[in-house]
Amino acid sequence: MIKIRSSEITPEHVYLNRRQFMKGLGAAAVSAAVLTACGPASAPKPSGPTPTLDTTPPASGTQSDELGDALTPYEVITNYNNYYEFSYDKEGIGQLAANLPISPWAVAVGGLVKNPKTYGLEDLLKKFDQQERIYRLRCVEGWSMVIPWMGFTLAQLLKEVEPTSDAQYVAFQTLSDPDNMPGQRSPQFDWPYSEGLRLDEALHDLTLLATGLYGKELPKQDGAPIRLVVPWKYGFKSIKAIVKIDLVAEQPKSLWNTSAPHEYGFYSNVNPDVAHPRWSQSTERRIGEAGRRKTLPFNGYAEEVAALYDGMDLSKYY
C-alpha cells in the first residue's frame, strides 16, 4: 500500500462551503484557459435542454496529505473538464456527455498475458476493493486540481492476467462512439483515444484505475465508468472511458504523441524544467486560487516515482 502523506484535503466545513468558494473563482479562474494542449480552440457547442447534474459533494474520507492543498470543489471537478471526444469547451462537457451509455460496460484485457479476460464493470468492482486516493492532477495547459478519487490500483488487475516476460508496455484504448461522442467525428485525430505506459509505471502503486470521485460514482464528464489516473504525469495521459488494455512488447502509440510528437512526449512526466514549445511549465494555476504557484517535479510525487527514471535524460525522454 502507498503511504498517503498529509493534508491534501481541507476539513469538511471548507469544501461544503463550495458556493462561496466558487464566487471567489471569478471569470478569470474558470474561463482563462489558454489554447488547449489537446486540440484547437473551436468546438461543437452544446445544444438542447441542459440536463440536471448532481453537484452535491459527498463527504470524503480521511483528509490528509503533505502539501496542505485544498480539495477542488466537486462542482468544479464535474463542470470544468478536458474531454475532446465531446468538445474543446471545458464547461460544455457535462451537458454533451449526459446521454453517453455506460451500462453495461466491459474492459478487455489481453495481449502478452497468460490469462486474457474481458471484465464487466461489476466484476471489477466486486473483485478489487475500492479505496480513496487524494491525487493532484496537473494539465499540460498549466492548470491543476486536487481530487479525491475512488478506485483500485492497475497493478492488481495486471497481476491477475499475468503479463508474460515479453510484455514491456501497457496500451490503453477508450470507447469509440462518435454517435454519442461528437468530438470523435473530427478528422483531426486518429480516434479512438489511445495511451500507453511502460510496464513498471503501470505496476506502480500510485497508478490508479478510478471508478469514482468524492465517494460517488465517476461522472460521465470525468471519464466514467472507468479511467486511468497517473498523478505524476500530465493529465492527458490519464485516459478516460477505457474499454481495452493490452500488454505489448513495443512502445504503443498514444494520441497526443502521434498527433504532435514535438509537443507531447510519450512519457509526459510533469517537469517544470522542460517547457512546452508554446508555454512554460514552471508554474501552474490551481483552480480556485488567485495567481500561480511553482510546478513541482513529478507533480510533487518525486519521492515515490523518480527512481523509475534513474539514468534517463528527462529533457530527451519528455
Mind listing the pLDDT tens digit for each residue in 171-206? 999 999 999 999 999 999 999 999 999 999 999 999
CA nearest to 171, candidates 195, 193, 192: 195
Check pLDDT > 80 for residue 9.
Answer: no
Check pLDDT > 70 for residue 5.
Answer: no
pLDDT at position 70, please?
86
Segment 65-99, tens digit of pLDDT = 557 788 999 999 999 999 999 999 999 999 999 99
Specify which residues 131 forms β-bridges with.
Answer: 151
pLDDT at position 56, please?
47
Collapse the DSSP code of 142 into the 3-class scheme (helix H, G, I; strand E, B; otherwise coil) and give the result: coil
pLDDT at position 39, please?
35
The CA distance from 140 to 130, in Å, is 28
- 7 in a structural domain: no
What CATH code is carried by the domain that includes residue 97?
3.90.420.10
Segment 246-302, tens digit of pLDDT = 999 999 999 999 999 999 999 999 999 999 999 999 999 999 889 999 999 999 999
Cα–Cα–Cα angle for 95, 103, 223, nearest 5°? 50
- 45 in a structural domain: yes
- 289 in a structural domain: yes
Angstrom distances, CA of residue 315 to CA of 275, 282, 310: 9, 14, 13
pLDDT band at 215 (very low <50, low <70, confident <90, very high): very high
- 6 in a structural domain: no
pLDDT at position 226, please?
98
Q: Residue 317 — φ and ψ, nearest 5°? A: -95, 70
Residue 267 is part of which domain span? 12-309
The CA distance from 154 to 136, in Å, is 18
Work out how many domains the chain is built from and give that number. Answer: 1
- 173 in a structural domain: yes
pLDDT at position 66, please?
55
- 302 in a structural domain: yes
Segment 12-44, tens digit of pLDDT = 333 333 333 333 333 333 333 333 333 333 333
DSSP at 250: S
pLDDT at position 100, please?
98
The CA distance from 160 to 140, in Å, is 33
Print burial letters for 193-211: b (CB count within 10 Å at least 16), e (below 16).
bbbbbbbebbbbebbbbbb
Rounded-to-5 percentages of helix, strand, coil across the chain? 25, 25, 55
- 316 in a structural domain: no
- 315 in a structural domain: no
Angstrom distances, CA of residue 60 to CA of 9, 107, 148: 9, 28, 7
CA nearest to 154, candidates 209, 195, 87, 113: 209
Task: Name the average pLDDT for the chain.
Answer: 84
